[in-house]
Amino acid sequence: MSMNTIKLVVFKRFERLWHWSQMALIFTLLFSGSAIYGVNPLMGFADAVTLHTWAAMILIVIWLFATFWLFTTGQWRHYLPTTKNFIEVARFYAYGIFKGEDHPYRKTYRRKHNPLQAMTYLLVKTVIFPAIWLSGIPYLLISFGIGGFLNDLGLGNIALVHTAAAIAITVFVIAHVYLLTTGHSFTEHVKPMITGYDDVELTDEELAYIKADEPGLLK
């Protein structure tokens, strides 16, 4: 099958806006959350609670819009895990990347995330993020004085789940930023999420379809 490497809009405008606003809000939540727990002396407790609450509510709204967008546009398919090339990609990150080997995965029109990315993002979106919200929302309700019915859950148990999920998100952020510094230059990794364009492998049929029906995706 003939393949063409074409610079194409991979990340849509909403997706880029969602990504950067989510990033800013997650850093805000980690910063204010650490102040609430007393490990960050740069902010008082009351101010940290207020900032944390507002950032959390804004992020909830963004995630609701993002979930709607993923399913109405079909973009959710990019997050489906696959075993194809999974071993090769895992080996690259564990070993090959330190030897200067080329990345074994190339973005395609139907799959912009490599198998390890897809699995990681799916885990974050279906396990870690729900854990942060299922534990964080009770905190919000209690702070608004309407969470009395949640007392049976135990505030300590809720705090434990929330903290564990926050630590998992912190680990994900650190790994995500670290991987941006590997392989190509940091700028080359980040640029697609700013401009939307990245190199994608297309079949002749896919290229013909895009030229006819979605020429605006091509650079």
pLDDT band at 27 (very low <50, low <70, confident <90, very high): very high
Residue ranges of domains in the chain, CATH in brackets: 14-199 (1.20.950)
The segment with the largest mean pLDDT, out of 80-84, 94-98, 124-128, is 124-128
Place of tokens 């190199």: 199
> What does the pLDDT read at residue 71?
92
Q: Which amino acid is at 115?
A: P
- For residues 81 and 183, give the distance between their C-alpha atoms in angstroms, rounded to a whole number: 23
Each residue's pLDDT tens digit, 37-65:
889 889 999 999 899 999 999 999 999 99
Cα within 13 Å of Cα(107), Cβ side: 17
Helices marked H in the chain — which ranges?
13-36, 45-73, 86-94, 115-123, 129-143, 155-180, 186-190, 192-195, 204-213
- For residues 10 and 16, give the distance between their C-alpha atoms in angstroms, rounded to a whole number: 10
